[in-house]
Amino acid sequence: MCSYSGPTTPSYRLMLLLLVFLIASVHQATGEKYIDKSGYLKWNLGSNVLQGAQDRLEFRFRYCNNKGVLIYQQGEGRNFFALGVNNERLYIEASINQLAVEMYVGENVGRNQTHDVTITGLRTLNDQTRVIINGISYTPEILTDVDVSLDFSSSMLIGETQIGGYESIDQLRLNTQRLKAYPITCITFIRAGPTDIDLDSPSSQLGVSDQCIVCLPPSLVTLTRTDSFLRMRVDNSPRSNTVISLKFRTKAPDGLLFYFGGPAYVALYLEGGALVLRLNTRGSGSDTKYKTTRATFNDGEMQEVSVTRTGNTATLRDGAGNIIAQVIFGGSQNTAQALNAERLYVGGFEPAVLGGLSSDIEVTQSFRGCLEELRFASYSAVESAPTQVNFENQNIGSSYVDFSACLESASCQSYACTGEGQQCSLGVCECIHGYGVRSQNPLVCYNIDDCSPNPCQNGAQCTDKIADYNCTCTDRYKGKNCSVIRNCYDFPCLNGAECIELDTPTPSAAGRNCSCAPGYKGVDCGQDCDECNEQCNSGMCVNSISCENSIGDFICECKVGYEGKDCSSVIDYCKDNPCGTGTCNSFLTGYNCTCPDDPDGAVKDRQSCGPLAVVNPIQISPAALVAILVCLVILLILVIVFVAFRRQYQQKKKTMYGYGNGPDFEESRENIMKYEEEGYGEEDQDAYDVNLIKSVGDTLKQRKPEDRSKYPTLPLGEAADVGDFIHGRLGDAEKDTNDGAIDEMTPFGDEGQGSLAGSLSSLNSSSSDGDQNYDYLHDWGPRFSKLADMFNDGESDD
């Protein structure tokens, strides 16, 4: 269970830890070994240190470079067994009774990490072989298909054993390159079968120390100019033996790699891409030199070389230790010659010494490119392995160098590569990809015409670019070379849909994807989508009263409170902030305001937060105001015109027919009917006297029921015979003697009666008025006497 963590667990762990520590310290006692590059531990024939390893081989180790031999057992004839690392995997190579075995036995063997390895079943070297690395078990990846039987105690594998490297590549029988390199390793212990190998007492060793150090990052330097150099501080005691190794990357064919010594020296440089090794151990006379036949050391790849000088012999080796050049100075090989150790120049000569030194050396310009992992050893009697020299910390003079990285594009003099299409690359200017060389010295590059021959097909137009071209295809074609028919051309999408080309070997409807315009559906967007009944890319009617579908479209009639093409949005009546300082509450049907002057909303349904005094003021828009004014003006004009016309008419009548009499009688009556303010006869002094009209109404209301009975009333809901009613009313009016007029006709019947002033009417309301006398008007004053005259004149005219 998860909760199981009883008191036994920690103590168990502690015990385990103690055990591991004990084992570790036991192994430490046997002596961990750091074996530098070029170093090795070696046991002679008959030592049989790997006896029992065919059943179980255990070791703990760390390494620093990408490949190399860890354990090498030489056997009789061509038999051998080798175990090492290659690209972070454990690798075994063996040859047993003329059968070659190659296999990877484990993964995740990273550099600069300590690994615990247990290999079982080495006896068969097949899938029975198992490896456990840091607790993880791996089955082998067997590259060969053979059955062998391996036994480290049998005579077939009796021979020398080398661990952590090898004395000489010549002693190795390796079939492949996978392990051919000197590793830098730290070996804590090796146990073959039940027995630990005593690492303290090999038959011979080189470059081995008792203390493991962590892997040093490789020291590197970029030399950027033909006069760059580094002068390194090294042991300056003259000694008879020297080892110098380094890695380099350049494209420049010429340049000094190193010069060690004074008048007596060993030197290595590039000349025309080949390596030249020179040696002079006397300090005078002509030196001896060897130039490699291989002239591709300036191919821009990483090259690893080492020069070992022993007395008057110098040997140049590649990274695996293969000899590629050797020179012997003088006659006697046995004469130990101590080189003057005052100088180690790397990459170039110091300007001050140029000419003074090395008159034999043809190449005096500097190496340009990257140098890595310089190793140096100088010794007399006991061999010592070269150790890494730090370019940055161990130089005593330098110029035009960069210690940060391998700066491929910085390794040319700044003015050198400025022409069109040029770049600096590991020491040389070159034409960039897509440019051709028009001329060397000075370098001129030109843009290669990528349209010739024309790669564009089907009438497409070609545009040249740098290391590329662009075909402008006609409508029907697509592709880099316009050689492919577009699906969208032969199978277009309909109704304005966007057509997306898909990749198909042949043109087909499946080779395009139609992205339909709103309102359409179907693979080619040829169908209308019914927004009233299905989900469409144009939306669907929601919250609608009605929906009407049409081709490519639809019309929704929204429910109250909704808007939008598909009625999906709720109308926000508050969006224009109609409440101003108040809070607006929007509902489906409208909005109301909660105003600061009425936070509790006592006054309901306020549409704005103006002053409360005017609740629902009648709003008159300016247009309405203008309309009313215009109406008033028209009315005024009409009145004026009417009055004027009437004046004129009366004048006319007076002259033509005599006053108030003649054939025009009926016409006069009509006018009366329109001229209603006359209705109350001479008692109405002010036209439109509202009080007067009101009083009539009041009089009517105040009538007692019995009074009312005297007047016929129109029974409610029995307004059938209005004609009869009016007729009866007329009759009543004639009989009636006092009381105010109550309908349109009676005023004319009453006209003139009860009025001191008599009738002001200029018309004859009835023939009975004919004998009227207007003399009393004279009593009203001069103005009225004229009136009186007028009327009397009219009478007399009759």
Ligand X SMILES: *[C@@H]1O[C@H](CO)[C@@H](O)[C@H](O)[C@H]1NC(C)=O
Report the interface residues with ligand X, using CB under 6 A.
112, 214-215, 217, 455, 463, 470, 472-473, 479-481, 483, 502, 513, 515, 585, 587, 592, 594, 601, 604-606
- Per 3-state DSSP, the chain is made up of helix, strand and coil in percentages (nearest 5) of 20, 30, 50
Question: What gap in Å lies between CA 444 and CA 436, rounded to an integer?
Answer: 8
Q: Tell me whether residue 373 or residue 528 sits nearer to Ca ion (CB atom).
A: 528
Nearest distance from C-beta of residue 119 to ligand X, angstroms: 25
Among ligand X, Ca ion, none, the one that 528 touches (CB under a kind-dependent 5 to 8 A) is Ca ion
Nearest distance from C-beta of residue 513 to ligand X, angstroms: 4
Q: Tell me whether residue 126 or residue 457 sits nearer to ligand X (CB atom).
A: 457
Among ligand X, Ca ion, none, the one that 463 touches (CB under a kind-dependent 5 to 8 A) is ligand X
User: How far is the CA of 599 from the CAs of 281, 576, 604, 606, 611, in angstroms?
Assistant: 110, 21, 11, 12, 14
Among Ca ion, ligand X, none, the one that 464 touches (CB under a kind-dependent 5 to 8 A) is Ca ion
Nearest distance from C-beta of residue 217 to ligand X, angstroms: 4
Largest Cα span, the chain: 184
Q: Tell me whether residue 23 or residue 466 sits nearer to Ca ion (CB atom).
A: 466
Q: Tell me whether residue 2 or residue 614 sits nearer to ligand X (CB atom).
A: 614
Nearest distance from C-beta of residue 412 to Ca ion, angstroms: 24
Phi/psi at 787 (nearest 5 deg)?
Answer: -60, -45
Query: Mapping DSSP to helix (H, G, I), strand (E, B) and coil, where does residue 315 land?
Result: strand
Nearest distance from C-beta of residue 198 to ligand X, angstroms: 28
| Paired residues of 117 in beta bridges | 59, 133
Question: What gap in Å lies between CA 206 and CA 187, rounded to an integer?
Answer: 14
Which residue type is seen at 2?
Answer: C
Question: What gap in Å lies between CA 313 and CA 243, rounded to an integer?
Answer: 12
Among Ca ion, ligand X, none, the one that 601 touches (CB under a kind-dependent 5 to 8 A) is ligand X
Read out DSSP for 92-150? EEEEETTEEEEEEEE----TTS-EEEEEE-TTT-STT-EEEETTEEE--EESS------
User: How far is the CA of 105 from the CAs of 82, 179, 192, in angstroms?
Assistant: 12, 14, 17
Q: Tell me whether residue 214 or residue 381 sits nearer to ligand X (CB atom).
A: 214
Among Ca ion, ligand X, none, the one that 513 touches (CB under a kind-dependent 5 to 8 A) is ligand X
Among ligand X, Ca ion, none, the one that 10 touches (CB under a kind-dependent 5 to 8 A) is none
Nearest distance from C-beta of residue 584 to ligand X, angstroms: 10
Q: Tell me whether residue 139 or residue 452 sits nearer to Ca ion (CB atom).
A: 452
Nearest distance from C-beta of residue 443 to Ca ion, angstroms: 18
Nearest distance from C-beta of residue 188 to ligand X, angstroms: 15
Q: Tell me whether residue 604 or residue 783 sits nearer to ligand X (CB atom).
A: 604
Nearest distance from C-beta of residue 532 to ligand X, angstroms: 25
Q: Closest Cα partner for 74 from 196, 168, 145?
A: 168
Among ligand X, Ca ion, none, the one that 450 touches (CB under a kind-dependent 5 to 8 A) is Ca ion
Structure token pair of residue 204? 């011979």
Q: Closest Cα partner for 295 from 274, 316, 275?
A: 274
Nearest distance from C-beta of residue 177 to ligand X, angstroms: 23
Nearest distance from C-beta of residue 425 to Ca ion, angstroms: 20
Q: Tell me whether residue 569 or residue 585 sits nearer to ligand X (CB atom).
A: 585
Q: Tell me whether residue 511 or residue 752 sits nearer to ligand X (CB atom).
A: 511
Question: What gap in Å lies between CA 51 and CA 47, rounded to an integer?
Answer: 9
Which residue type is seen at 540?
Answer: M
Among ligand X, Ca ion, none, the one that 604 touches (CB under a kind-dependent 5 to 8 A) is ligand X
Q: Tell me whether residue 479 or residue 518 sits nearer to ligand X (CB atom).
A: 479
Upper half-sphere CA count for residue 231 (Cβ side, 13 Å): 16
Read out DSSP for 535-583? --TT----SEEEEEEETTEEEEEEPTTEESTTS-EEP-TTTT-TTTTSE
| Paired residues of 543 in beta bridges | none
Q: Are 593 and 607 in contact, with CB atoms under 8 Å apart?
A: yes
Q: Are 123 and 55 in contact, with CB atoms under 8 Å apart?
A: yes
Upper half-sphere CA count for residue 66 (Cβ side, 13 Å): 6
Rounded-to-10 torsion of CA 734, 737, 740, 745 = 10
Q: Tell me whether residue 311 or residue 519 sits nearer to ligand X (CB atom).
A: 519
Among ligand X, Ca ion, none, the one that 566 touches (CB under a kind-dependent 5 to 8 A) is none
Q: Tell me whether residue 69 or residue 431 sits nearer to Ca ion (CB atom).
A: 431
Length of the chain in residues, anyone? 798
Nearest distance from C-beta of residue 462 to Ca ion, angstroms: 10
Among Ca ion, ligand X, none, the one that 549 touches (CB under a kind-dependent 5 to 8 A) is Ca ion
Q: Tell me whether residue 218 or residue 496 sits nearer to Ca ion (CB atom).
A: 496
Among ligand X, Ca ion, none, the one that 303 touches (CB under a kind-dependent 5 to 8 A) is none
Nearest distance from C-beta of residue 387 to Ca ion, angstroms: 50
Q: Which helix (H) or strand (E) covers residue 788, if one does?
A: helix 782-797
Q: Which residue is nearest to Ca ion (CB)?
A: 450
Among ligand X, Ca ion, none, the one that 447 touches (CB under a kind-dependent 5 to 8 A) is Ca ion
Among Ca ion, ligand X, none, the one that 297 touches (CB under a kind-dependent 5 to 8 A) is none
Among ligand X, Ca ion, none, the one that 527 touches (CB under a kind-dependent 5 to 8 A) is none
Read out DSSP for 719-787? ---HHHHHHHHHHHHHH--SS---SSSHHHHHTTTT-TT----SS-S-GGGGG---GGGGGG-HHHHHH
Q: Tell me whether residue 51 or residue 607 sits nearer to ligand X (CB atom).
A: 607
Nearest distance from C-beta of residue 518 to ligand X, angstroms: 15
Q: Which residue is nearest to ligand X (CB)?
A: 601
Read out DSSP for 605-665? S-SS-S-TTSSSPPP--HHHHHHHHHHHHHHHHHHHHHHHHHHHHHHHHHHHT-TT-STTH
Interface contacts to Ca ion, rule CB under 5 A: 447-448, 450, 464, 528, 549, 554
